[in-house]
Structure 1
Amino acid sequence: MKWLFLVIAGLLEVCWAIGIKFSEGFTKFIPSIFTIIGMIASFYFLSLSLKELPLGTAYAIWTGIGTVGTVILGVILFKEPIDLIRLICIGFIVIGIIGLKLVSPH
């Protein structure tokens, strides 16, 4: 369950990061509410995973999922540029996430 909680936390991080963009600096009420709820839920699930996972591993994977997901949705939703160098860098993050999971003693 700890890994499931961590994945949920990472996906919720993507949600609130994208929500910040839609809230336009917290000036739009409904997107701001969803963003805040996403933040709280993301931190809650991260805290559940931290009951059993090492802090450094969990935090790195949480931010990695958030980073990769936010980049992907940024390209899809906001037409942000994507090029080979960005793809390579995202690939390194994914490799890091997989590596941390594989070497985690939990």
Structure 2
Amino acid sequence: MGVALGDAPTGPLVRPYTMTRGRTRPSTGPRLDLVTIVVTARDLKERNREPEHEAIMRLCHRPISVAEISARLDIPLTVVRVLLGDLLADGDVRTRATMTQLPEKKVLQAVLDGIRRL
């Protein structure tokens, strides 16, 4: 347990690079924005995972945003993205884009062209 100088125990002190094994980005997978929604895709007890992965899996039993995972676990966003990348690669979680993401430029151009023809 980590202890702040002169204070009560504050919980385990784990450096972010330790949680990610030195990685700063997910190895593969979709871009994880702050508002990307994450939900578990498998049973929590299927296999052994790191404690941080387990904590994320417990939070994701209901759809939750990447930003909220970071805030609730008090883990830096960059670390959460790397850990989620691991879980995505293993098929443990799924993501879903939110409505705040903009459509592709081609789609917007097609809509604009259609309006102009009216």
TM-score range with shorter-chain normalisation? under 0.3
TM-score (normalizing by structure 1): 0.27
Larger Rg: 2
Q: Which has the higher helix share?
A: 1
